[in-house]
Amino acid sequence: MKIKLIILLLGFSLFGYSQKKAKKTVKIKPKTEFVTELMSKMTLDEKLGQLNLPTSGDITTGSASNSNVAKNIEDGKVGGLFNIKSVQKIKEVQKIAVEKSRLKIPLLFGMDVIHGYETTFPIPLGLSCTWDMKLIERSAQIAAQEASADGINWTFSPMVDISRDPRWGRVSEGSGEDPFLGSQIAKAMVHGYQGDDLSKNNTILSCVKHFALYGAPDAGRDYNTVDMSRIKMYNDYFPPYKAAVDAGVGSVMASFNEVEGIPATGNKWLMTDVLRKQWGFKGFVVTDFTGINEMVDHGMGDLQTVSALALNAGIEMDMVGEGFLTTLKKSLDENKVSMEQIDNAVRLILNAKYDLGLFEDPYKYCDEKRAKTEVFTTSNRVEARKIATQSLVLLKNNNQLLPLKKSGTIALIGPLADAKENMAGTWSVASKMENSVSLLAGIKELAGNSTKVLYAKGSNLDYDPLFEEKATMFGKTLHRDSRTAAVLLAEALKIANQSDVIVAALGESAEMSGESSSRTNLSIPQAQKDLLQELLKTGKPVVLVLFTGRPLVLVQENETVPAILNTWFAGSEAGSAIADVLFGNENPSGKLTATFPRNVGQVPIYYNQKNTGRPLGNKEGKFEKFRSNYIDERNEPLFPFGFGLSYSTFDYSNLKISSDKMNFNEKVNVIVDVKNTGNYDGKEVVQLYIRDMVGSVTRPIKELKGFQKIMLKKGEKQTVTFEISVEELKFYNSDLQFIAEPGVFQVFVGTNSSTENKVSFELIK
């Protein structure tokens, strides 16, 4: 690589990153040599500054030149910033770093680019329901393209925490309950963000989070204690993090929770033994927001103590807390940390900046032309709309009520029907909510001139205005209607009775899920449930368009509503994408990646559970005394993992296996015929599950080990083949050895995790 340098006639060498024209172009030195030379010139304060990641504060208002953060940047006490948006602001701040600080070291600029930038895609839980790794990777590529065009070079994504408890609000930000699928998505997202060359100006550094186990807090309450065995960690919760590391992710974020009694931010076993020694991670680790400081409340000591604990554990960058900046010098003097540890942390952060090409051109992400032409483009919106259609999950469709006809009168009713501010969902910090497409706008766009669309709100989100206020933060208002519930209902019933079909847009608001949005009640808010029941009493056919960031309890709705389309929060093009599916322009193909319980008392609930010594012997929901069941509820979920209907139907037949025996060096093929037996062309996710019948430790009753999303025209049949090697049969045993054991394996292939269509083979030595 080449770099333009201004030759400074000074008594010491400075790194010239000025915007002025260079007099000479020279080759930049190889990374190790370059970083070593730079570090040799750094003071201790400048080194500690590289470990400091403050939020932008008032820089976002444009007052970068006179803010406290700006003074720290000039003094070399900042390694990066986050939550600052736009090329103009970022360029102004970067200029301080590379033209006013002593060593001219450029900054990292991070942002929570979670599911898109200004072009917003479905929330991650919704994206995972596409089961399409190419689409998921493409969504990350577009996010990186837009973010990098607007000055961002680092994203705190993907979140790969496995979660089996829908009470936890951040289930919306992950990919569901399964470690195999979660691992495939982790790899796709990292590749999408980082590409094959981080030095390109349309790729950004990825940060996998939250390491580790963040998705399994006690009681489903965010930030709460996590406690589990190591065998469960390795088999069920670690795989997606490791997959991201194997994919070359550049950074890792520590989680808030404790692991085996020690907060992850200060857990050396986690950050050093597992992440670096076992998995070979080469990037840097950043804390979550004030993660170091919060160890004080965990009871781990004062700020100096916990800051030293974090560095010694393997943390390189301190987000917001400034414990590293303000205490490590004293800890070094007291031999509580070593210079070697500080240098190692600094080197890893400088390596990342080198890999991003910032030492070659610190303004590479500050091209105002790109910002004007590559963000929220028509082509990106077209792709976002297409991807969103693939994320929607059809949960019920009695008598083929859907797709809707483009004729007659449609009554669109519900507090989420005309709520464009909520369409992007949680963690959409860069999204311009005013540009999102509401369901009302989407339906009107597609309905055509022969269709009359009537609209009424019908109810507020909830009867309680204080609850609604908490559930509509960050500008995602639902414009609460001050009229009484009776008046709102009467208005809705008036148009319902004029219609041929009712579309009820109900569920959660965008901020009812996400960070610090845990719930004990997984039902649709009562005001909306009451509205729905009144709409059903009209005798008109009702389609429930469900908005949610988590699995909900929908027993009553499933029993009474003829059609349910789960749309999650589908992004900036949500309204158009949902309308595409409602009217049949697109055939729904999404499949659930998180189990929907019948009752919150079943939680945590997931498909790949283990048998007890007293398993329930029936699938009919019949109570059996002295068996592992409830006396007041069935064991099975309302909707299982992998479930999702289509406007078409698919028949599985001729399941067979290439051999009933396989040694450790061989592979077997599992073959099945899948036929589209319906009247619509459609996509089907063919899912393969394996059960290890006997193990040295207890094994799950079923584990996802393969899937293929195929397109079939109506009447078309396709033979689908899965290859099974010993790798799909491995697990961590009680000694945490990753092994496969000889024995019999059952293989299930079908349309969701409840399939009983199976063949068997034996693994032999």
Contact 410, 440 (CB under 8 A): no
Distance CA 463, CA 728 (A): 50
Rounded CA-CA distance 688/498 in Å is 47
Q: DSSP code of 433? A: G
User: Position of tokens 């009695």?
Assistant: 398
**DSSP β-ladder status, 108-111 and 154-155:** parallel
**460 secondary structure, DSSP code:** -
Instruction: Please give the structure tokens belonging to residue 755.
Output: 């399939």
pLDDT at 611 over 50: yes
Asked if pLDDT for residue 65 goes beyond 80, the answer is no
Average pLDDT over residues 737-746: 98
* Cα dihedral across residues 26, 27, 33, 39: positive or negative: positive
Q: What does the alpha-carbon distance between residue 582 and residue 265 come to, in Å, rounded to a whole number?
A: 46
Residue 320 half-sphere exposure toward CB, CA atoms < 13 A: 13
Residue 180 confidence (pLDDT) above 80: yes
The conformation of residue 525, written as its DSSP 8-state character, comes to P
What distance in Å separates the CA atoms of residue 549 and residue 546, rounded to the nearest whole number? 10
**Cis before residue 210, ω within 30 degrees of 0?**
yes
Tokens of 488: 């709102």
- What's the CA gap between 103 and 105, in Å, rounded? 6
Q: Mean pLDDT across the chain, nearest whole number?
A: 94
> What are the φ/ψ torsions at residue 668 (nearest 5 degrees)?
-120, 150
Return d(Cα 80, Cα 57) in angstroms, integer. 13
d(CA 126, CA 569): 7
- Work out the number of other CB atoms within 10 angstroms of the CB of residue 485: 15
User: What are the pLDDT digits (tens) for 295-311?
Assistant: 999 999 999 999 999 99
Cite the beta strand spans of 536-642 per DSSP E: 542-547, 563-566
- For residue 332, which amino acid is it? L
Active-site choice (112, 161, 288, 361): 288
Tokens of 660: 């009933």
For the cut 60, the answer to whether the pLDDT of residue 573 exceeds it is yes
The length of the chain is 765
Is the predicted pLDDT of residue 675 greater than 80, yes or no? yes
Q: What is the mean pLDDT of residues 453-469?
A: 97
Q: CA-to-CA distance for 704 and 701, rounded, in angstroms?
A: 11
Share of the chain above pLDDT 90, in %: 93
Indicate the residue type of 611. N
Q: What percent of the chain clears pLDDT 70, i.e. is strictly above it?
A: 95
Lowest mean pLDDT among 199-203, 431-435, 571-575, 615-619: 615-619
**3-state secondary structure (DSSP) of residue 300:** coil
Residue 583: pLDDT band with limits 50, 70, 90: very high
Where do we find the tokens 């992950």?
Answer: 174
Q: Which two tokens stand for residue 239?
A: 């795989």
Q: Which pLDDT score, from 0 to 100, does residue 620 have? A: 83
CA proximity to 264, closest of 229, 234, 220, 309: 309
pLDDT of residue 18: 39
Nearest to 165 by CA among 218, 88, 244, 102: 218
The helix/strand/coil state of 135 is helix
Rg (CA), the chain: 27
pLDDT at 5 over 80: no
What string of H, E and C letters represents the secondary structure of 151-213? Answer: CCCEECCCECCCCCCCCCHHHHHCCCCCHHHHHHHHHHHHHHHHCCCCCCCCCCEEEEEEECC
What are the residues facing 116 on neighbouring strands? 120
- Here the tokens at position 359 are 């030492």
pLDDT of residue 57: 61
* Rounded (10°) CA dihedral 371, 373, 374, 377: 130
Q: Where would I find the H helices in 17-159?
A: 31-40, 44-50, 68-74, 87-99, 124-128, 133-149
SS3 445: helix
User: Range with the lowest mean pLDDT among 56-70, 153-167, 320-334, 396-410?
Assistant: 56-70
User: Dihedral of CA 643/648/649/654: which sign?
Assistant: negative
Please tell me the distance from the alpha carbon of residue 334 to that of residue 19, in angstroms, as a whole number: 42
Distance from the first to the final alpha carbon of the chain = 52
> Cα(609)–Cα(235) distance, rounded to whole angstroms?
12
* Spatial contact of 47 and 342, defined as CB atoms under 8 Å apart: yes
Token digits for 582?
């409602």
pLDDT at 67: 62
Q: For residue 23, give the DSSP letter.
A: S
- The residues, ordered by sequence, that sit 6+ positions from 197 with a Cβ below 8 Å of its Cβ are 203
pLDDT for 617? 86
For 194, the token pair is 């980082």
Residue 641's SS3 state is coil
Cis status, amide bond into 505, omega within 30 of 0:
no
* Catalytic annotation present for 288: yes
Residue 265 has pLDDT above 60, yes or no: yes
Whether the per-residue pLDDT at 747 is higher than 80: the answer is yes
| pLDDT value of residue 394 | 99
Three-point CA angle 357, 363, 364, nearest 5°: 50
Three-state DSSP class for residue 326: helix
Main-chain dihedrals φ then ψ at residue 276, nearest 5 degrees? -95, -50
Helix residue spans in 676-743 (DSSP H):
none
Strands 743-750 and 251-254 turn out to be unpaired
Write out the DSSP string of 360-393. T-TTTT--HHHHHHSSS-HHHHHHHHHHHHHH-E
Q: Check whether the bond before 158 is cis (ω within 30° of 0).
A: yes
What average pLDDT does range 654-673 have in this prediction? 98
Burial of 247 (0-12, 13-18, 19+ CB in 10 A): middle
Locate 759 and state its tokens: 């063949």
pLDDT digits (tens, 9 = 90+) for 11-40: 333 333 333 433 333 468 999 999 999 999
Given this model, what pLDDT does residue 242 score?
98
Alpha-carbon span 439 to 580, nearest angstrom = 11
Residue 61, pLDDT > 70, answer no
Q: How much is the pLDDT for 14?
A: 36
268-298 tens-digit pLDDT: 999 999 999 999 999 999 999 999 999 999 9
pLDDT given at position 9: 28
Six-digit token pair at 277?
Answer: 């020694």
Q: Which of 144, 128, 125 is nearest to 136 (CA)?
A: 128
Buried b (16+ CB within 10 A) or exposed e, 63-101: ebeebebbebbbebbbbbbbbbbbbebbbbbbbbbbeeb
pLDDT given at position 621: 84
